[in-house]
């Protein structure tokens, strides 16, 4: 019987990057005037984002008047090679080939088509005909963690490796001028970016990386479901992002973390690595303050936000990748991600040399 499911490899793929100030001055500054321009410039400057990636950059191509159909066709063109690159890197990192994968899970809330990424990439990567596939859509920024939990459950039950890919192209959902003037849209355009990240989960602990997935936990406050939305419109997908989101997280995040750790005989001080989804600077401030962490604990998340922006579902995996690349990687990592619901997810990881 398999004793644990272990993250054995990570792969990241990024579209071309551009500096935040160039995106502002080269495109968004011209979309606003008067007091609204002053407000928008302040939002962009205070977003915590220094550079970001765009498969479809507004500096080169304005998609704001594109139909949803046209955006979805472009999604396939851009997402397939990006996802293939991230998945290939994760497989190489784990020392596996694609035909050894038993489950292929794909998360994406920024594009849909059938056949989807799961089918096309299973074909292009050379996965076996009997590979199981799972597509997770419209869960948003926290999708990586429930998908990771499902992958770990599969590995434990079947004794075969799983591959999880998160791929998001938020740049395809630039909104038209009338909608773009809304404050929530300004915030979204200032924060969100494109990326793909993949992880391989294997049975046992004989890996070069070796973070065992101990538990995945969640809490949803459905009374605040209208605080974060992602609506399909005739002109792409439209983000709704209430400024009250940080206050809701403040109510729930400590209890989620304390209860999760307690089930493993641990306390907050026993965690030496924090992979917190950087939804924005205020989100990170709330997590830091509610958990009593010092600024150094969330510095990797702030740096990911600054370097890559908020890439939705891949972002928490980007933080995990940053942590494991340290000269002295953390032994225990707590991953936290947040999204529509409002939903909070937590995942405890431990190196194979640590027992709970």
CATH of the domain at 154: 3.40.47.10
Same domain, 321 and 286: yes
DSSP assignment of 188-246, as one string?
HHHHB-EEEEEEEEEESS-SSS-EEEEEEEEEE-GGGGGGEEEEEETTEEEEEE-TTHH
pLDDT at 208: 57
Per-residue pLDDT tens over the stretch 284-304:
999 999 999 999 999 999 999
pLDDT-based confidence at 354, cuts 50/70/90?
A: very low
Same domain, 246 and 198: no
Is the predicted pLDDT of residue 180 greater than 80, yes or no?
Answer: no
Q: Is residue 356 part of a domain?
A: no
Same domain, 224 and 109: no
Same domain, 55 and 129: yes
Same domain, 279 and 243: yes
Same domain, 260 and 146: no
How far is 138 from 237, CA to CA, in rounded Å? Answer: 11
Same domain, 120 and 178: yes
When pLDDT is averaged across residues 130-139 and rounded to a whole number, the result is 96
Using the 3D structure, point to which of 203, 235, 269 is the last residue of a domain. 203
Is the predicted pLDDT of residue 144 greater than 70, yes or no?
Answer: yes
Using the 3D structure, point to which of 163, 186, 203 is the last residue of a domain. 203
pLDDT at 356: 38
Using the 3D structure, point to which of 138, 168, 203 is the last residue of a domain. 203
Q: What is the share, in percent, of the chain residues with pLDDT greater than 90?
A: 89
Q: Is residue 70 part of a domain?
A: yes
pLDDT at 329: 95
3-state secondary structure of 173: helix
The region that residue 13 occupies, defined by phi over 0 for left and psi between -120 and 50 for alpha, beta otherwise, is: beta
Containing domain of residue 241, as a range?
211-351
pLDDT at 177: 82
pLDDT at 353: 56
Same domain, 218 and 143: no
Q: In the chain, how many domains are there?
A: 2
pLDDT-based confidence at 135, cuts 50/70/90?
A: very high
Same domain, 159 and 16: yes
Q: Is residue 196 part of a domain?
A: yes
Per-residue pLDDT tens over the stretch 112-133:
989 999 999 999 999 999 999 9
Same domain, 169 and 63: yes
Q: Is residue 332 part of a domain?
A: yes
Is the predicted pLDDT of residue 204 greater than 80, yes or no?
Answer: yes
Per-residue pLDDT tens over the stretch 212-251:
999 999 999 999 999 999 999 999 999 998 899 999 999 9
Angle at 268 between CA 271 and CA 322, to 5 degrees: 35
From 16-20, 130-134, 182-186, 298-302, the region with the lowest mean pLDDT: 182-186
| Residue of 132, 224, 239, 134 whose CA lies nearest to 191 | 239
Q: Is residue 156 part of a domain?
A: yes
How far is 174 from 348, CA to CA, in rounded Å? Answer: 35
When pLDDT is averaged across residues 9-18 and rounded to a whole number, the result is 97
Same domain, 139 and 250: no
Q: Is residue 272 part of a domain?
A: yes
Same domain, 196 and 236: no
How far is 189 from 185, CA to CA, in rounded Å? Answer: 6
When pLDDT is averaged across residues 45-69 and rounded to a whole number, the result is 97
Does the pTM surpass 0.75? The reply is yes
């Amino acid at each position: 019987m398999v004793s644990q499911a272990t993250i054995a490899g990570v792969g990241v793929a990024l579209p071309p990057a551009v500096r935040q100030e160039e995106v502002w001055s080269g495109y968004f500054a011209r979309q606003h005037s008067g007091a609204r321009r002053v407000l928008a410039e302040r939002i962009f400057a205070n977003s915590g984002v220094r550079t970001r990636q765009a498969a479809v950059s507004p500096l080169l191509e304005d998609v704001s008047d594109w139909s949803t159909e046209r955006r979805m066709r472009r999604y396939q063109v851009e997402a397939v090679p990006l996802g293939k690159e991230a998945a290939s890197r994760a497989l190489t990192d784990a020392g596996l080939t694609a035909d050894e994968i038993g489950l292929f899970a794909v998360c994406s809330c920024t594009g849909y088509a059938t056949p989807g990424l799961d089918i096309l990439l299973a074909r292009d990567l050379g996965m076996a005909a009997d590979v199981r596939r799972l597509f997770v859509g419209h869960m948003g920024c926290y999708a990586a963690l429930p998908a990771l939990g499902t992958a770990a459950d599969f590995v434990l039950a079947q004794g075969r490796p799983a591959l999880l890919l998160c791929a998001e192209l938020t740049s395809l959902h630039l909104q038209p001028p009338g909608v773009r003037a809304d404050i929530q849209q300004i915030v979204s355009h200032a924060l969100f970016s494109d990326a793909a990240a993949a992880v391989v989960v294997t049975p046992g602990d004989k890996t070069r990386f070796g973070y065992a997935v101990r538990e995945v936990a969640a809490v949803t406050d459905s009374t605040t479901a209208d605080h974060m939305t992602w609506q399909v419109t005739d002109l792409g997908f439209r983000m709704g992002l209430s400024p009250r989101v940080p206050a809701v997280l403040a109510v729930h995040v400590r209890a989620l973390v304390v209860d999760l750790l307690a089930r493993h005989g641990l306390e907050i001080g026993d965690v030496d690595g924090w992979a917190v989804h950087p939804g924005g600077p205020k989100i990170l401030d709330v997590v830091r303050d509610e958990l009593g962490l010092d600024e150094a604990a969330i510095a990797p998340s702030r740096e990911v936000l600054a370097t890559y922006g908020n890439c939705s579902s891949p972002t928490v995996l980007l933080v995990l990748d940053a942590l494991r690349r340290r000269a002295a990687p953390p032994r225990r990592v707590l991953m936290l991600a947040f999204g529509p619901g409002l939903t909070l997810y937590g995942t405890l990881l431990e190196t194979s040399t640590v027992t709970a």
